[in-house]
């Protein structure tokens, strides 16, 4: 049978759904709260983005401080007893100070995040230390810094932490991370609450029970609570309520069978935000209400305190990434708009097939919509910033494109692939711009080269 012609193949091909290019006025849900089009130019925080680019270059991360502080206040008022900012979404020295000034607690996932927080004056007693494979050195550092709570994720961590705390004479507060067997409705790589994941101790077959009893057996550890997180980018509440119910049942069972009392349940974060027009946002009050609803099915009111750990939902919508268009090329089925960034500063589309929208930052385009894809400058076919978007036909080299909802996981996941220096991060507020993280230079990358320096081997 002969192969189909290109025209026949096109006829068989299912056309992808195109994401509309959307200005702040057309889709305010995906843009920072202060984003506006003024005189055909994009402004965030009262700052014109084309002016900012002339001062700072591209690619460039921009953070709307007012947006972050607004959403931090929403979480404080959500009904949770304690709110931790999940620093893996985005952390730098200035961000540590913002979180502190908002009266939030802080969730860190590595020794590096811990040191960054402590070095910038954050009270270690308000830190929760996460991670599924914390090293002995990291656990010792947590004890030495007097971190408020360490979340243990495996039996090796329980033993290592107990020894580290015993050496100092301290009693370290601990959460035991459990997995309740609830599958979040999200990308498989962002689901963390099922039975077969790398995080925590499954409730099934007694794994979580044995972990709690192991913590209780160590005089240098105190069971401060249990922890559960079912996944990220969640926009429906049913799974949250079910997870809370199952955690509540586990807590009640531990009290009944072993007289082990749990005073606090940390039910993680994961509240979703809009990335493209029409996407939903899970409101902080709805998130916390779902958790309380689930717990109320199995525990009397007031039995436990609730802690939450939002990250993306606090910083994600505050971020915008600015790119300069370098080339526009028509393919057989769509137009390729190449920008001066890509998977080195925007990994999520390649990693999770995450979708975004975009708009011009320096002028308002007038062309008719054309099936386009915004691609990066890296040597990978998967280097896509915005797939299948209806961009105006008059986008041209030299134009500025702004991609909203990039405050979470973009800077945090950035790399030096193809020896690409990482972009700067700039905060904008009330017409002022302040540098949060400086732009890397090629010289910064060269400083890491050791030029064959000998390694002194330690022989056993």
pLDDT < 70 stretches in the chain: 1-15, 183-196
Q: How far apart are CA 303 and CA 261, in angstroms?
A: 10
Task: Look at residue 129 in the predicted model and tell me its pLDDT.
Answer: 98
Query: Token pair for residue 291?
Result: 């958790």
Q: In this predicted model, what pLDDT tens digit does every residue of 131-156 receive, in sequence order? A: 999 999 999 999 999 999 999 999 99
Q: pLDDT at position 15, please?
A: 55
Return the DSSP state at 145.
T
For the chain, what's the residue count?
Answer: 460
Listed residue (398, 400, 393, 396) closest to 334, CA to CA? 393
- Are the beta carbons of 340 and 383 closer than 8 angstroms? no
Query: What is the pLDDT at residue 459?
Result: 83
Q: What is the pTM of this model?
A: 0.92
Catalytic entry in 92, 109, 228, 379: 379
Residues 56, 49: contact at Cβ < 8 Å? Answer: no
What's the rounded Cα separation, in Å, for the pair 20 and 104? 36
- The per-residue pLDDT for 74 is 98
| pLDDT score for 197 | 74
Cβ 82 vs Cβ 104: under 8 Å: no
Question: What is d(CA 215, CA 398) in angstroms, rounded to the nearest whole number?
Answer: 59
Q: Return phi, psi of residue 412, to 5°.
A: -65, -35
Predicted local distance difference test score (pLDDT) of residue 183? 64
| Burial class for 351, CB neighbours closer than 10 Å (0-12, 13-18, 19+) | middle
Structure tokens at 289: 């209400």
- List, in order of start, the domains of the chain with CATH numbers: 15-63+317-438 (2.40.37.10), 65-316 (3.20.20.10)
Q: What is the pLDDT of residues 305-360, one digit of tens each?
A: 999 999 999 999 999 999 999 999 999 999 999 999 999 999 999 998 999 999 99
- Candidates 298, 287, 306, 301; CA nearest to 231 is 287
Q: Mark whether 154 is an active-site residue.
A: no
Say what the alpha-carbon torsion angle 60, 234, 373, 56 is, to the nearest 10 degrees: 0
């Amino acid at each position: 049978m002969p192969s189909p012609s290109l025209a026949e193949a096109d006829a068989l091909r299912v056309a992808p759904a195109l994401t509309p290019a959307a200005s702040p006025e057309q889709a305010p849900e995906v843009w920072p709260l202060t984003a506006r089009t003024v005189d055909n130019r994009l402004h965030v925080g009262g700052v014109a983005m084309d002016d900012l680019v002339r001062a700072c270059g591209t690619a460039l991360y921009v953070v709307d401080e007012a947006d972050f502080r607004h959403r931090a206040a929403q979480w404080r008022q959500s009904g949770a007893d304690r709110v931790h900012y999940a620093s893996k979404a985005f952390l730098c020295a200035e961000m540590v100070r913002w979180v502190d000034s908002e009266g939030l607690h802080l969730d860190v996932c590595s020794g590096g995040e811990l040191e960054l927080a402590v070095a910038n004056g954050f009270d270690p007693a308000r830190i929760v230390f996460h991670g599924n494979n914390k090293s002995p050195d990291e656990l010792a550092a947590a004890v030495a810094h007097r971190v408020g709570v360490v979340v243990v994720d495996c039996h090796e961590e329980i033993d290592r932490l107990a020894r580290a705390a015993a050496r100092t004479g301290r009693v370290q507060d601990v959460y035991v991370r459990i997995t309740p067997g609830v599958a979040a409705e999200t990308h498989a790589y962002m689901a963390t609450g099922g039975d077969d994941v790398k995080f925590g101790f499954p409730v099934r077959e007694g794994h979580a029970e044995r972990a709690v009893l192991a913590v209780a057996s160590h005089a240098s550890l105190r069971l401060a609570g249990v922890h559960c997180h079912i996944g990220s980018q969640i926009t429906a509440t049913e799974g949250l309520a079910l997870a809370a119910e199952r955690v509540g049942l586990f807590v009640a069972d531990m009290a009944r069978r072993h007289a082990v009392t749990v005073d606090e349940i940390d039910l993680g974060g994961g509240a979703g935000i809009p990335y493209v027009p029409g996407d939903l946002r899970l409101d902080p009050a709805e998130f916390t209400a779902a958790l309380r609803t689930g717990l109320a099915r199995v525990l009397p009111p007031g039995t436990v305190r609730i802690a939450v750990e939002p990250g993306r939902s606090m910083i994600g919508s505050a971020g915008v990434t600015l790119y300069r268009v370098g080339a526009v090329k028509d393919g057989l089925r769509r137009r390729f708009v190449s920008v001066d960034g890509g998977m080195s500063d925007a990994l999520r589309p390649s990693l999770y097939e995450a979708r975004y929208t975009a708009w011009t930052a320096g002028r308002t385009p007038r062309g008719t919509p054309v099936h386009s894809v915004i691609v990066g400058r890296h040597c990978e076919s998967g280097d896509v910033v915005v797939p299948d978007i209806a961009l105006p036909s008059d986008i041209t080299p030299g134009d500025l494109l702004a991609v909203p909802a990039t405050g979470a996981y973009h800077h945090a996941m950035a790399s030096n692939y193809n020896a690409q220096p990482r972009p700067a991060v700039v905060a904008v507020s009330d017409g002022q711009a302040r540098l949060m993280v400086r732009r890397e230079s090629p010289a910064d990358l060269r400083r890491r080269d050791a030029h064959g320096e000998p390694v002194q081997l330690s022989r056993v």
